[in-house]
């Protein structure tokens, strides 16, 4: 099968997404994983900052109600947003921009739920690492504690990078297969997808804003 994305570019972008995803709950907590920032970062790296920001803002509105707090299982909206942005930015639209965006968004939704499952797996692995860290604390093995901490972060990084890699690769194959056979009438009909999502995003944001006022 043919992929229009160079393997080296795909690997680097997947690793960048994995790194940015660490900010969601694992490390940093500087908000760079939020779509409005990560979209701009991906856009800048891939040479289309304005599109990256536009998609980042749209994804931010759509996922604004998802708060990754505590041990709750939640869709990985930040990761999904980055994958959606990456697919749109990496693939040549070939006169099918609406199909490309729609496909990227659908894949992003799937990634959000697969990411949630991988996060649960990561938590289970971290539970085992925690037991090893407790044992290392009892034995005052500082170096081992530091190594276990690095390993726990590295596992999440690799899981999210691998998921991003697979999702973008699947997106590139699907778009390459679909774009030659999709009729122009369907491409024109898909022009409404993005405005509808903007409307949903603004509604969700407004609803959150109203709730915050009512609570006060």
Taking only the tens place, the pLDDT of each residue in 50-66 is 999 999 999 999 988 76
The predicted structure's pLDDT at residue 47: 92
pLDDT of residue 1: 46
Long-range contacts of 112-118 (CB under 8 A, 24+ apart): 112/75, 112/76, 112/77, 112/79, 112/80, 113/75, 113/76, 114/76, 114/163, 114/167, 115/75, 115/76, 115/79, 115/80, 115/160, 115/163, 116/73, 116/74, 116/75, 116/76, 118/76, 118/159, 118/160, 118/163
Total-model pTM: 0.90
User: Which pLDDT belongs to residue 5?
Assistant: 78
Q: What digits encode the pLDDT tens for the residues 9-45?
A: 999 999 999 999 999 878 887 889 999 999 999 999 9
Instruction: Please identify every stretch of the chain with a pLDDT value under 70, giving residue numbers as ranges.
Output: 1-3, 66-73, 216
Question: What is the residue whose two structure tokens read 């990084």?
Answer: 157
Domain residue ranges in the chain: 7-215
């Amino acid at each position: 099968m043919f992929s229009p994305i160079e393997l080296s570019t795909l690997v680097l972008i997947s690793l960048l997404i994995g790194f940015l995803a660490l900010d969601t709950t694992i490390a940093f907590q500087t908000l760079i994983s939020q779509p409005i920032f990560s979209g701009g970062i991906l856009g800048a790296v891939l040479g289309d900052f304005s599109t990256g920001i536009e998609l980042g803002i749209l994804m931010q509105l759509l996922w604004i109600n998802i708060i990754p707090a505590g041990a709750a299982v939640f869709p990985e909206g930040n990761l999904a947003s980055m994958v959606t942005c990456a697919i749109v930015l990496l693939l040549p639209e070939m006169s099918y921009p609406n199909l490309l965006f729609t496909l990227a968004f659908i894949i992003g939704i799937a990634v959000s739920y697969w990411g949630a499952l991988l996060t649960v797996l990561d938590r289970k692995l971290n539970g085992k690492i925690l037991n090893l860290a407790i044992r290392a604390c009892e034995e005052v093995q500082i170096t081992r504690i530091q190594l276990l901490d690095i390993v726990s972060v590295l596992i999440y990084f690799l899981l999210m990078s691998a998921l991003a890699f697979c999702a973008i690769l699947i997106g590139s194959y699907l778009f390459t297969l679909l774009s030659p056979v999709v009729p122009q009438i369907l491409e024109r009909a898909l022009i409404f997808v993005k405005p509808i999502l903007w409307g949903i995003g603004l509604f969700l944001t407004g609803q959150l804003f109203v709730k915050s006022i009512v609570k006060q």
